[in-house]
A and B are shown apart, each in its own frame.
Chain A
Amino acid sequence: MTLLNLVNVSVRYGRLTAVRDVSIDLKEGQILFITGPNGAGKSSLLRAIAGVTPTAGGHIEFDGAEITGRAPEDIARLGFSMVPEGREVFGSLTIEENLLVGAGMHSRTAGAKGRTASDLASVYDTFPILKERRHQQAGLLSGGQQQMLVIGRALMTRPRLIAIDEPSLGLAPNITDQVYERLVALQSERKLTLLIVEQSSARAVMVGGRMILMRSGGVVLDGDARTLGNSEAVQAAYFGYEEQ
């Protein structure tokens, strides 16, 4: 079943076109990597889906509902959870408070208290370090711990899809490994759909799943990450050799 459907989506900043006519169809339960060089429009695309950046054309459907032009909080409430680039923890709030912000959208439904408590416990199960430091300010965490915190915070919203922008940014390779290990485990446990943006295709090849390669605002390649691998097609598309 299609969970996220982009049809000819464009994003413009003034006269600069960041994303041009991108169409992507993402099935429930899939892992999709969007890779590509700096400035390919990956982050802009993600921000457009999340409703933070307005689209200049095309339309976006989530779970069959049109979400183009809707407010970020409405899109989040439908089950699309975004972990933006640079993580963006609430540095002055404690770790537990950060997690609780994510639980807010369900706080008015019946049985909310118990559900929030069990969601919190399950996030702490996945990331024990967060439990240990739960009363500390989130700004004091290391980069890797912050990445775990924002993934945990996204889980608190009970999402159907988590979109993560460059989870490896600024992390040591072994920490990145840990983060991905948890992500993949979560994905299979909870039937989550993952949409991950990374600059390099190496991680996609390692983890597996579907991979889309973007360059200059458009989709250049779309296929199975392992099949595409580090093939010449990927390198050509990445660096734009085919134009010469």
Chain B
Amino acid sequence: MLQIIFDSLSLGSLYALGALGIALIFGVMRLVNFAHGDVIAFCIFALLWPSTDAMAIVFAGQLPWYLLVPLVLIVGAGLSVLCEITVFRHFRRANPATMMIASFALGFVIRYFLLMLFTSRPKSISLLPMLSQPVEIFGARLPLLQLITIVATVFILIGLSLFLRRTRFGLEMRAAAENFSMARMLGVRANRVIMGAFALSGALAGAIALIFGSQTGTADIQMGASIMLMAFIATVIGGLGSLAGAVLAGFLLGAASVVMQVMLPVDARPFRDAFVYGAVILVLLLRPQGLIAARGTKERV
């Protein structure tokens, strides 16, 4: 039982962090950023030397954790801001569908850039190996990593929420997310707020890369895409643009996946995802506006 709860929470953490990264950017510029998953993949590969071997040659990955973690977060934030400056900034006045296609294209550019340097073969890496030993809590044996994932996610969520509620920049981001054009008429600088959202979203991508990379022990060019899909679904279920909704839905999806894995009849387990997505359709039918409807989903002018 405890095992199921912890599995749900740690899988949900990944989805919740991913959904947050998407919701943050959607909030300020009505862009569904499909390149987000590839930013996640990029963060992991940034720790490896370019090579085509199956065994990765780690270079920055050997750094002690207190350097490694900030480094990956900065790589994510940096790449994300770079995407905004080079691509998305030029699509500000475009309609949301155009921006979405641009983000798809950008995602592929990043993915094929990685493919060129590393080939498509997944590489085994050992990131933060000390975290894979199990610990015993209330009679359940849990990998230390799972515990750290959950604790780190809780810290990130609390930190982000404090940042949004207590700082000037957070206030401006919330105002801009609700009504961008009004915020600008009050002197809020559009570029600063959007770059801030991209930086935060990129740092979240870095966090996911670290967690996912150390959980699976592989670096795979495709890894971002699978999380991205679930994260995107979580943002929609949560109510596009609602940060709290995105987090909630992320955890719910994580729980649904784990619980179905355990509860479904053995024969049906291979089709778990079909059941998860079936539940998604059901939720959307019942609450098309999402679990927590976001305010100000008005067209940005």
Contacts and interface: CB of A to CB of B under 8 A. Distances in A.
Nearest to B165: A97
A72 B190 CA distance: 9
A91 B178 contact: yes
A73 B184 CA distance: 5
A157 interface: yes
Contacts of B178: 90-93
Interface of B: 168, 171-172, 174-175, 178-179, 181-190, 295-296, 301
9 contacts: A52-B184, A72-B181, A73-B190, A81-B185, A82-B185, A92-B178, A93-B171, A93-B178, A104-B187
B10 to A, nearest CB: 31
B187 A76 contact: yes
Interface of A: 50, 52-53, 71-73, 76-77, 81-82, 84, 88, 90-93, 97-98, 100-102, 104-105, 107, 139, 153-154, 157
A135 to B, nearest CB: 12
Contacts of A153: 186
Contact of A90 (B182, B187, B189): B182
Given A91-B296, A101-B172, 18 more contacts: A72-B185, A73-B190, A84-B182, A90-B174, A90-B175, A90-B178, A90-B183, A91-B295, A93-B178, A97-B171, A100-B171, A101-B171, A101-B175, A101-B188, A104-B168, A104-B172, A104-B186, A157-B186
B301 A104 contact: no
Contacts of B175: 90, 93, 97-98, 101
Contacts of B179: 88, 90
Highest count of chain B CB atoms <10 Å: which of A71, A76, A100, A101: A101
A52 B175 CA distance: 17
B174 A157 contact: no
Contacts of A139: 295
Contacts of A93: 171, 174-175, 178
